[in-house]
């Protein structure tokens, strides 16, 4: 049964939805910026790509929020383009052409939809020991991303980690903490939003924000099917995208279980199947409209946990706002003015909360020597490859795409160790 939102007004729901939007916005626009730059898109093409992507994020989120007989998990999730797809998309676009990139996205979306039922049957391999480790990993493997953004985003930039960026980032963290200590009610629920807005105005007063992105953006733009290219199909491009999709499905599984824990809902195989199918449809639409595949965003789990608003209603507002921003690039460009360091400070809190949620789940697990081994090794490997990806640089590129993802490596480790140490050994003992 879906969590209800107790007598929350339209305005409060809208503000809570805007908080969800800001939590995912920077992470999502990063994908079109990275892929578009690699493909050599000009300013006009980049503006279209970002706007169309934001619009499709809204569509994808609505697909997941609305429970139908076939799709939608009905949890407060926000969907966006996942970073796991960046390297495959760049490689396909450069080596084969943009048409093959979109063809691979469409086929990947269809395959996700078709294998949803089979993938959902793996639920038995995700007991609390595994999901708790997985959710802890989601938070901990994203902490380095938060710190990179807090320092300014680009580690090679001359101003990375300078006093201004550190001041803006850690002041955002401090404001969020102080509001959670001294704030009450609705003010406390939107602590992340307040921290971002306050420090953005401080950055504006310091002259660290320019308004050029807003003045150069269009007033209105409708996403068009096959705007950049018609889809073409090639087996190796499809294969590498399918591998990336499997990593995203694993991450989505962790997010689903984390939100189910927060909202007090038991997930069935049918729920998971509907969730995967919604992401499959979203990815297919992304290929048709020449944007990206879409999957569940981890950082918004932290927003739900901090706000304690468990209803899907604020996220519905967020989805509508995303669609509006995608149609009106000039308004949407305002959100791009938020300094990266400010977003990094907010991410630090959100990702830390996600990791803490995983630890909370693990506290319900009996800490036997086997379970301690599962937790320690899976989290250790997952965090290790995240902070030191060059460790695997001698492996083939396809393997690196999979094994450089700490969440995937850690998840598989937890699943395999749990199967060997708990299921197999328990059967032998019986």
What does the mean pLDDT of the chain come to?
Answer: 82
Mean pLDDT over residues 397-404, rounded? 70
pLDDT of residue 43: 63
Closest CA to 422 of 135, 127, 136, 137: 127
- Cβ neighbour number for residue 388 with a 10 Å cutoff: 11
Quote the tokens at residue 398: 């396809």
Find the angle CA(286)-CA(278)-CA(289) to the nearest 5 degrees.
15
Q: What is the pLDDT of residues 44-53, one digit of tens each?
A: 777 788 888 8
Q: Which of 15-29, 103-117, 180-194, 286-300 has the highest mean pLDDT?
A: 103-117
pLDDT of residue 402: 67
Name which of 49-63, 313-327, 399-413 the model is least confident about.
Answer: 399-413
Residue 334 binned pLDDT confidence (cut-offs 50, 70, 90): low
Phi-psi bin for 72: left (phi > 0), alpha (psi -120 to 50), beta? left
Mean pLDDT over residues 132-155, rounded? 83
- Cβ neighbour number for residue 303 with a 10 Å cutoff: 32
Instruction: Write the DSSP symbol of residue 295.
Output: E
Q: 70 by DSSP, 3-state: which?
A: coil
Closest CA to 228 of 48, 414, 6, 380: 48
Residue 13 binned pLDDT confidence (cut-offs 50, 70, 90): confident
Which distant-in-sequence residues (6+ apart) come within 8 Å of 326 by Cβ? 51, 52, 53, 54, 55, 56, 57, 58, 221, 223, 332
Name which of 170-174, 262-266, 377-381 the model is least confident about.
Answer: 262-266
Name which of 176-180, 227-231, 293-297, 405-409 the model is least confident about.
Answer: 405-409
Q: Which residue has the higher pLDDT, 243 or 5?
A: 243
State the Cα–Cα distance between residues 203 and 339, nearest whole angstrom.
Answer: 7
State the Cα–Cα distance between residues 345 and 30, nearest whole angstrom.
Answer: 17
Contact between residue 138 and residue 84 where contact means Cβ atoms under 8 Å apart? no
State the Cα–Cα distance between residues 282 and 18, nearest whole angstrom.
Answer: 22
State the Cα–Cα distance between residues 34 and 145, nearest whole angstrom.
Answer: 15
pLDDT of residue 170: 94
Mean pLDDT over residues 175-200, rounded? 82
Strand partners, 296: 79
State the Cα–Cα distance between residues 422 and 416, nearest whole angstrom.
Answer: 10
Residue 339 binned pLDDT confidence (cut-offs 50, 70, 90): confident
- Please report which helix (H) or strand (E) contains residue 400, including its range: helix 397-403
Find the angle CA(354)-CA(78)-CA(57) to the nearest 5 degrees.
140
pLDDT of residue 401: 62
First to last CA, the chain: 37
Q: What is the pLDDT of residues 351-390, one digit of tens each?
A: 788 788 788 889 888 889 999 999 999 999 988 988 887 8
């Amino acid at each position: 049964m879906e969590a209800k939102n107790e007598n929350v007004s339209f305005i409060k729901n809208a503000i809570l939805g805007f908080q969800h939007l800001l939590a995912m916005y920077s992470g999502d626009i990063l994908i079109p910026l990275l892929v578009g730059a690699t493909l050599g898109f000009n300013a006009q093409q980049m503006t279209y790509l970002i706007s169309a992507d934001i619009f499709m994020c809204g569509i994808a989120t609505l697909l997941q929020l609305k429970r139908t007989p076939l799709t939608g998990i009905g949890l407060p999730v926000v969907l966006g383009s996942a970073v796991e797809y960046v390297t495959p998309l760049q490689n396909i676009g450069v080596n084969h052409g943009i048409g093959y990139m979109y063809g691979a996205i469409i086929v990947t979306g269809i395959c996700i939809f078709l294998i949803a039922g089979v993938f959902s049957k793996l639920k038995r391999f995700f007991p609390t020991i595994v999901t708790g480790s997985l959710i802890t990993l989601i938070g901990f493997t994203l902490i380095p991303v938060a710190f990179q953004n807090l320092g300014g985003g680009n580690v090679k930039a001359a101003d990375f980690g300078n006093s201004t960026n550190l001041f803006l980032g850690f002041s955002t963290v401090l404001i969020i903490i102080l509001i959670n200590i001294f704030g009450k009610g609705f003010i406390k629920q939107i602590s992340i939003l307040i921290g971002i807005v306050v420090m953005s105005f401080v950055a504006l007063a310091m002259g660290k924000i320019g308004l050029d992105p807003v003045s150069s953006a269009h007033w209105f733009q409708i996403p068009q099917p096959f705007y950049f290219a018609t889809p073409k199909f090639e087996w190796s491009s499809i294969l590498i995208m399918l591998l990336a999709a499997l990593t995203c499905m694993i991450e989505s599984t962790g997010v689903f279980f984390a939100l189910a824990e927060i909202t007090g809902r038991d997930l069935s195989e049918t729920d998971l199947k509907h969730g995967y199918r919604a992401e499959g449809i979203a990815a297919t639409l992304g290929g048709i409209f020449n944007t990206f595949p879409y999957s569940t965003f981890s950082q918004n789990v932290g927003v739900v946990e901090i706000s304690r608003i468990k209803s899907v209603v604020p996220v519905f507002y967020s989805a509508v706002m995303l669609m509006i921003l995608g149609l009106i690039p000039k308004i949407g460009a305002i959100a791009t003015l938020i300094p990266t360091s400010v977003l990094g400070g907010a991410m630090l809190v959100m990702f830390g909360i996600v990791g803490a949620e995983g630890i909370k789940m693990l506290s319900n697990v009996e800490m036997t020597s086997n379970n301690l081994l599962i937790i320690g090794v899976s989290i250790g490997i997952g965090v290790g490859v995240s902070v030191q990806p060059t460790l695997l640089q001698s492996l083939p590129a396809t393997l690196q795409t999979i094994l450089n993802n700490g969440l995937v490596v850690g998840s598989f480790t937890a699943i395999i160790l749990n199967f060997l140490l708990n299921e197999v050994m328990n059967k032998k003992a019986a």
